[in-house]
Amino acid sequence: MKKTQANYTILVITVENKFGVLARVSGLFSRRGVNIKSLAVAPTDKAEFSRITVDLDIELESVSLDQIINQLDKLINVVEIRALDPAESVERELMIVTVEAEASQRDELVDHLDKVGGKVLNIGTESMMLSLVETSSVIDDFESFLSDYGIVELQRTGRVALDSL
Amino acid sequence: MTSENIDGGKALIRALEKEGVEVMFGLPGGAILPVYDPIIDSTIRHILVRHEQGAGHMAQGYAQATGKPGVAMVTSGPAATNIVTPLCDAYLDSTPLVVITGQVPLAAIGTDAFQECDTTGITMGVTKHNFLVKDAQDVPRIVKEAFHIATTGRPGPVLIDLPKDIVDPNNPRSELYWVDNPEMDLPGYKPEKKIDLSGIEKAVELIQSSERPVFYVGGGILKARAAEALRELVEITGIHVVTTLMARGAFPDSHELCLGMPGMHGNYTAVTSMQKADLLVALGARFDDRVTGKVDGFAPDAKIIHVDIDPAEIGKVRKPDVAINGDCRLVIEAMVDLLRQQDAIQIDRSEWKSTISGWQERFPLTYEDSEPGSRLKPQYVLEQLRDLTPADTIVASGVGQHQMWTSQYWNFDYPYTWINSGGLGTMGFSIPAAIGAKVGNPDRMVWAVDGDGCFQMTAQELVTATVENIPIKVALLNNSYLGMVRQWQDMFYDERFSEVFLSDDVPNYKAWAESMGCVGIRVDSPEEVPEAIAKANEIEDRSVVIDFRTAPEEHVYPMVPAGKDNSSIVVPPSQESQER
C-alpha cells in the first residue's frame, strides 16, 4: 500500500448497500481510537453497493494504515478497500453556508465568491446562503474569509475523491 | 426436500439439518419459543443447558474437538448477553460457531421491549459476522451463509438474530417459500487465497540456509487440519518445533524434535530456543503477547517467515521477512513438495542441536515433592492423571495455574485432544467445553482439569451432563485460592494477598458433585491419587468429580514476568544456579 504524502489519509471503501454496514466500518475505527474527520457515503452506479470515502485527518504510519485496511477488508460486507494517494487523485468537497451580510457588504462578498467559483443559493434580508465545490484547502480558506462576516450555519460534506486520469 | 411454503422457525431447523448439524446446545425463552417446537420433530439432538454461557462453551468444546462448527441457540435479551463471553472466546481462538439468538418482533425493535437488547450491536466486535433477519424468506440463505463464513478462511463465530415474528407460524410474516439450495450473496467475502509460490521458494531457501531455525506452530495448524503435513515438513527438515498453547497436540510431544510450549509459562528450552533462533517459521501463529513477551526484545536475531490465512495477522506484531498468506496445510504441502525436489544439502546444525539438548538437560520442568501431611502438588496429580489415562484422552482446561500446568505436564500426542480458552482466558470454560467435547466424541475419555475458582463459575453444567447422560470426569485442582492471581501477588506485590482466598472447606465439592448426580471423591494424600483416578476411569455411566486438595503456595515455573523480554525467564528455585 502506498504511503500518502499529505497530512491526511483517504480510504475508499466499496461496501454492500445494507443496513448496519456503516456501523461495522465506523466501529472498527472507534475501537482503535482513530478519529474520522469526514465520511461520505452514497450508492455507486450499482445500487447494491455503496462507496464510502473516509478522511482521516492524520497521516497514518504505513504499518497501522495497512493494518486498518486489512482489518476493514475482513468485514464481510466490505467488497473492496484501498487508500487513495492524495498526489494521484482528484478531490472535491461541498460546503453550503449561511453568512451574515448587510446589503452594503454583499458586493465584496459576491466578488470573492465568484473568484473561487462559488454560487449564491439564497438571499435573505440580513444574510446570504452560498455554496462552494472545491478542494478542502480552498474551502478552508474561504471559510476563514467568511468568519469575518459572521457564519450563521455551515455544513461541509468532507472529501470525496477519485483517481486522477 | 420439496419446494413448499413453510414458516421461518421450521425453515431454520430444516436449514440446520441440511448443514449437517447433529447436535445443538441451548435454552429456550420467549422470543425463540416458536423455534423450539419444530426441534421436537428434528433429527438434531438438542442439549438443554443450565446457563446460556454453558451452551456457548459446549458448542466451542464440540467444535474444537471435532472440527465441525458448534451450534448454540438461546433467546433474546439476557440470554443473548450471557452468550457474549463464549462468542468473544470463540472469536479470539478462531473457533467455528453458529449462534442463534431470539429477538423481539421486528415492530418492537428499538422500543425497549421486554427482553430486548441490541444483540447484533453488542456482538459486532466479537463475531466474525452477524445477521439480523428482517425477512423470513432470507432464513435458508442466511443459515447457509453463516455456516460458510464460520467454517471457511480463518474460522470464527457467526450470530443470527431472529425476530420472533419471522419464526412464529401464527404470524403471516413468518411465511416463506422454501428453496433447497439458496444462492449465497457474499460479494465481499473471498476466503480462498492463491498461494504465492515465490514466497514458498524464498521460505524454503531461508529454511535451508538457517543455522538455528525453529518452527513456531500455532492454532492455525489445527484449524487447517495440517498436523500430518507439519509432521512431514518437520521430518524432512529436521527442525525443532514449539507448539503454542493453542497448538498443543498439533505436533506430538513425544517426538524428539518437539520442544513443547513457549511463552510466559513455556518451558525453558522452548522459550530460549525461540529467543536464540536465527529463523522463526511461524505457521498459523499470531505472535501473541503471551508468547513474545516484550515485543522489542523478542527473538532479536531471528528472521521471520509468517504463514497465516488472515492477512491482518501478517506484520501485525512483527514484520516478517517472508510473508505467505494462505491456508497452512496448502502452504506446508507446497514447501514439502519443493523440499523434495531439492537435493538434501543441509547445513550443519549439530551445534544448535547440542545447545538445545543442553538446555533440555539443565532446565527440565520440575517441582519439589510434597512434604508428608501437606497438600498435594498439582504437578504430581497431573503426571498421575496423564500416565493413568488413555493416550487419546481429551483434556479440557479452565484458566489459570491449572491450565498452564496441564499444558506443561500433559503429553499431547494427538491433535484435537487439548481444549482450552487461550485468547480470552475465560474462567469456567472447562466443564461446559468438556461436555461439548464428549458429545462430539462419545467413545473417548474426556477429562476436565479445573481450578476451584473456575469450577464455581460453571459447575452447574454438571447437572446438564447428568440429565443428558454425557459422562465426563473432572480433576479439580483445589488449592482454595485464585491461584494465578495469588502467584502474581506473591511475586510482584510483596506477598500481599488481596481477595484471592476462596475457602478451605466451602463448598463441599464431594457433596456438591453428588447433589448434581456425579460421583464425588476427595483426595488429600499422594497415595490416594492413582487409586482415585483408576476408580474414576472405571465409571462410565455418570460424571465424576475428584477434589484434589492441592498446595496453594505452588508457583507455575518457568515464568517470563509481564512486560519483560523472554531472556528474563524466571526458572524454579532449584535451577537458579544452573548455567544459562
CATH topology of domain B5-177: Rossmann fold (3.40.50)
B415 neighbors B267 (Cβ within 8 angstroms): no
For residue B560, count CB atoms less than 10 angstroms from its CB and return exposed for 0-12, middle for 13-18, buried for 19 or more.
Answer: buried
In percent, the amount of chain B with pLDDT more than 90 equals 98
State how far the Cα of B470 lies from the Cα of B435, in Å rounded to an integer. Answer: 7
pLDDT (tens digit per residue) in B399-452: 999 999 999 999 999 999 999 999 999 999 999 999 999 999 999 999 999 999
Residue B257: closest CA among B217, B209, B197, B298:
B217
- Residues linked to residue B322 through DSSP beta bridges, in sequence order: B305
* Active-site annotation holds for B164: yes
Please check the confidence at residue A2 and state whether its pLDDT lies above 80: no
State how far the Cα of B221 lies from the Cα of B241, in Å rounded to an integer. Answer: 12
In chain A, which residues have their Cβ closer than 8 Å to the Cβ of B315? 63, 66-67
And the C-alpha cell for B172? 403471516
Residue B261 DSSP SS3: coil
For residue B191, count CB atoms less than 10 angstroms from its CB and return exposed for 0-12, middle for 13-18, buried for 19 or more.
Answer: middle
| Architecture of domain B197-362 in this structure | 3-Layer(aba) Sandwich (3.40)
Grade residue A6 by pLDDT with cuts at 50, 70 and 90.
low
Q: Which residue of B has its CA nearest to A48?
A: B187
What is the predicted pLDDT for the residue at A1?
42
And the C-alpha cell for A34? 482513530
B163 neighbors B77 (Cβ within 8 angstroms): no
DSSP A113-158: HHHHT-EEEEE-SSEEEEEEEE-HHHHHHHHHHHHTT-EEEEEE--
Q: Judge whether B125 is closer than 8 Å to chain A, CB to CB.
A: yes
- Average pLDDT, rounded, for chain A: 92
Query: Choosing from B18, B22, B115, B497, which is the catalytic residue?
Result: B115
Choose, out of B189, B190, B313, B319, the residue to mutate when testing the contact with A (most A CBs < 10 Å).
B189
Higher-confidence residue: A68 or B533? B533
Q: Judge whether B189 is closer than 8 Å to chain A, CB to CB.
A: yes
Grade residue A56 by pLDDT with cuts at 50, 70 and 90.
confident
Q: Hey, how many other C-beta atoms are within 10 angstroms of the C-beta on B44? A: 16
Neighbouring residues of B5: CB distance < 8 A, sequence distance ≥ 6: B175, B176, B177, B178
Query: Choosing from B52, B145, B313, B554, which is the catalytic residue?
Result: B52
Q: What is the arithmetic mean of pLDDT over A145-152? A: 96
Q: Judge whether A24 is closer than 8 Å to chain B, CB to CB.
A: yes
Beta strands (DSSP E) in chain A are 9-16, 38-43, 49-56, 78-84, 89-100, 119-123, 127-134, 151-156, 160-163
- H or E element in which residue B26 lies: strand B23-27
- Nearest residue, CB atoms, B188 vs list A31, A71, A78: A78
Interface contact A63-B311, CB threshold 8 A: no
And the C-alpha cell for B338? 519443493
What is the predicted pLDDT for the residue at A130?
98
- Residues linked to residue B129 through DSSP beta bridges, in sequence order: B158
**What is chain B's alpha carbon radius of gyration, rounded to the nearest angstrom?**
25
State how far the Cα of B307 lies from the Cα of B293, in Å rounded to an integer. Answer: 21
pLDDT (tens digit per residue) in B86-104: 999 999 999 999 999 999 9
- Average pLDDT, rounded, for chain B: 97
Q: Hey, how many other C-beta atoms are within 10 angstroms of the C-beta on B232? A: 16
Q: Would the CATH topology of B5-177 be identical to that of B378-549?
A: yes
pLDDT (tens digit per residue) in B138-147: 999 999 999 9
And the C-alpha cell for B232? 512431514
Choose, out of B183, B314, B316, the residue to mutate when testing the contact with A (most A CBs < 10 Å).
B316
Interface contact A23-B310, CB threshold 8 A: no
- Nearest residue, CB atoms, B188 vs list A63, A71, A79: A79
Please check the confidence at residue B341 and state whether its pLDDT lies above 70: yes
Grade residue A59 by pLDDT with cuts at 50, 70 and 90.
low
B29 neighbors B115 (Cβ within 8 angstroms): yes
What is the predicted pLDDT for the residue at B92?
98
The matching CATH number, chosen from 3.40.980.10, 1.10.10.10, 3.90.1640.20, 3.30.70.260, for A9-84 is 3.30.70.260
Residue B121 DSSP SS3: helix
- Residues linked to residue B73 through DSSP beta bridges, in sequence order: B26, B100
Q: State ipTM.
A: 0.90
The one-letter amino acid code at A62 reads S
Query: Choosing from B114, B134, B501, B578, which is the catalytic residue?
Result: B114
Q: What is the arithmetic mean of pLDDT over B360-369? A: 97
Backbone phi and psi for residue B562, each to the nearest 5 degrees, phi listed first: -55, 135
Chain-centre distance of CA B43, in angstroms?
28
Grade residue B82 by pLDDT with cuts at 50, 70 and 90.
very high
State how far the Cα of B103 lies from the Cα of B33, in Å rounded to an integer. Answer: 10
- Residues linked to residue A78 through DSSP beta bridges, in sequence order: A15
What is the predicted pLDDT for the residue at B41?
97
Grade residue A65 by pLDDT with cuts at 50, 70 and 90.
confident
pLDDT (tens digit per residue) in B178-234: 999 999 999 999 998 899 999 999 999 999 999 999 999 999 999 999 999 999 999
Query: Choosing from B10, B164, B276, B473, which is the catalytic residue?
Result: B164
> How far is A70 from chain B, CA to nearest CA, in Å?
5
Q: In chain A, which among 36-55 make CB contacts under 8 A with chain B?
A: 48-49
Q: Judge whether A67 is closer than 8 Å to chain B, CB to CB.
A: yes
Grade residue B480 by pLDDT with cuts at 50, 70 and 90.
very high
Domains of chain A: which residue ranges?
9-84, 89-163
Please check the confidence at residue A51 and state whether its pLDDT lies above 70: yes
In chain A, which residues have their Cβ closer than 8 Å to the Cβ of B187? 16, 48-49, 79
Chain-centre distance of CA A59, in angstroms?
16
Beta strands (DSSP E) in B356-491 are 394-397, 418-419, 446-451, 473-478
CATH topology of domain B378-549: Rossmann fold (3.40.50)
Q: Which residue of A has its CA nearest to B127?
A: A75
Backbone phi and psi for residue B16, each to the nearest 5 degrees, phi listed first: -65, -40
Please check the confidence at residue A42 and state whether its pLDDT lies above 70: yes
State how far the Cα of A26 lies from the Cα of A75, in Å rounded to an integer. Answer: 11
Neighbouring residues of B395: CB distance < 8 A, sequence distance ≥ 6: B406, B410, B417, B418, B419, B446, B447, B448, B449
* Exposure of A82 in the CB half-sphere (CA atoms within 13 A): 10
Going from the C-alpha of B522 to that of each of A71, B298, B466, B544, the distances in angstroms are 49, 44, 20, 11
Query: Choosing from B274, B427, B445, B484, which is the catalytic residue?
Result: B484
CA angle A140, A144, A145 (to 5 degrees): 115
Grade residue A7 by pLDDT with cuts at 50, 70 and 90.
confident
Q: Judge whether B312 is closer than 8 Å to chain A, CB to CB.
A: yes
- Nearest residue, CB atoms, B149 vs list A20, A48, A76: A76
Interface contact A63-B129, CB threshold 8 A: no
And the C-alpha cell for B298? 523478542
CA angle B303, B304, B307 (to 5 degrees): 160
Please check the confidence at residue B297 and state whether its pLDDT lies above 70: yes
| Architecture of domain A89-163 in this structure | 2-Layer Sandwich (3.30)
* Active-site annotation holds for B114: yes
Please check the confidence at residue A60 and state whether its pLDDT lies above 80: no
Please check the confidence at residue A58 and state whether its pLDDT lies above 80: no
DSSP state of B368: P
DSSP state of B179: -
What is the predicted pLDDT for the residue at A3?
44
- H or E element in which residue B304 lies: strand B303-308
User: Between A and B, how many CB-CB pairs are < 8 A?
Assistant: 40
State how far the Cα of A31 lies from the Cα of A53, in Å rounded to an integer. Answer: 19
And the C-alpha cell for B166? 419471522
What is the predicted pLDDT for the residue at B2?
56
pLDDT (tens digit per residue) in A73-130: 999 999 999 999 888 999 999 999 999 999 999 999 999 999 999 999 999 999 999 9
What is the predicted pLDDT for the residue at B207?
96
In chain B, which residues have their Cβ closer than 8 Å to the Cβ of A31? 125
Interface contact B312-A74, CB threshold 8 A: yes
A58 neighbors A9 (Cβ within 8 angstroms): yes
Q: What is the arithmetic mean of pLDDT over B283-312? A: 97
Choose, out of A24, A70, A79, the residue to mutate when testing the contact with B (most B CBs < 10 Å).
A70
State how far the Cα of B255 lies from the Cα of B235, in Å rounded to an integer. Answer: 10
Segments in B76-181 forming alpha helices (H): 78-82, 84-92, 119-123, 139-151, 164-167
* Active-site annotation holds for B548: no
What's the distance, Cα to Cα, between the start and end of chain B in Å?
68
* Active-site annotation holds for B116: no
The helices-and-strands tally (H runs, E runs) of chain B is 23, 19
* Active-site annotation holds for B73: no
